[in-house]
Homo-oligomer: A and B are copies of this chain.
């Protein structure tokens, strides 16, 4: 009886809004033919604010990959430690009771991994198992939940710490001038989240019953990284908007098979905050009442798209409202094009 206990989230202090990022685009690309369209899209994106690890004045003057990697390492470790301690506390466990740590982060890179740093910083047991995940992008938070579920499913005495950390501001490239670069600049944001999966049922939370991965054939260009001397750079193809109609039938049949109800009868959906259009498409394709995606919309409005972090934040928001016996569908979407989905019942 694997249980997701109460998550912890953390957002850094520097806040930006749509107007701030439009000003940056205006200054860096005064003659861009994409500007008008981008500004229309940014103003309709339903992102009220985002949090960054540094002031926007520093974001725009960042150096090469080496320089960004140093900033990443310090910020990622600090945010990760912070949310990890709170999540372990929320799970009513001591650090000695953690058997595996999964860390997800696609906006920076370090070796030794964040998982090794967490073992040291938190004084986890030396035999703690590690899964660091860097290349699953926005689906990674839900992937971590899937892998933790498979580990705990037959091991009720084990507990997995999941930590997601993103610093999208370190993937900002001043010279990037395509329409999708402007959209990325206005959407992605920084933050951290952690959650403990307990293998037992000795705590209230979301009791997961099933998990499924889905990778859609021939859709790899939808979401990619470009790698440059300045590090990682998101590359979103406009076809990414076609991704949800591909995935929705899997989400529907997963709910029907495992919960024996249609997706629109699930009490709470916990969707990765990909963007307004992604949430609109989920509503449309699964015939969901608008109320069903409200926590994902609130997460988008208050924090933007924090990649692997977002789904754990939406889980935290759901935690405050779900009641015993309610059903949940948790899902995220990312490069591959891959979706990870889990279902469970609140206890």
Contacts and interface: CB of A to CB of B under 8 A. Distances in A.
Interface of A: 64-66, 69, 106, 109-117, 119-120, 123, 126-137, 143, 146-147, 150-151, 153-154, 212-218, 220, 223-232, 250, 335-336, 338
A113 B136 contact: yes
A180 to B, nearest CB: 15
Contacts of A119: 215, 336
Contact of A223 (B112, B150, B220, B336): B112
A65 B112 contact: no
A338 B130 contact: yes
A229 B154 CA distance: 45
A267 B229 CA distance: 48
Number of identical monomers bound together in the oligomeric complex: 2
A228 B64 contact: yes
A146 to B, nearest CB: 7
Contact of A213 (B113, B130, B224, B250): B130
27 contacts: A65-B228, A65-B229, A65-B231, A66-B226, A66-B227, A109-B225, A111-B225, A111-B335, A112-B135, A112-B223, A112-B336, A112-B338, A113-B135, A116-B220, A116-B335, A117-B220, A119-B215, A119-B336, A120-B220, A123-B217, A127-B213, A130-B336, A130-B338, A131-B147, A134-B134, A147-B147, A153-B154
Contact of A230 (B147, B217, B229, B232): B229
A123 B225 CA distance: 23
Given A154-B154, A228-B66, A217 B112 contact: no
Nearest to A220: B112
Contacts of A226: 66
Contacts of A215: 116, 119-120, 126, 128, 130
A136 B112 CA distance: 7
Given A66-B226, A223-B112, A132 B136 contact: yes
Nearest to A158: B150
A126 B216 contact: yes
A151 B230 CA distance: 37
In the complex, the 9 A-B pairs of residues with the closest C-beta atoms, listed nearest first: A113-B135, A69-B227, A154-B154, A64-B229, A229-B229, A116-B336, A111-B225, A112-B335, A66-B228
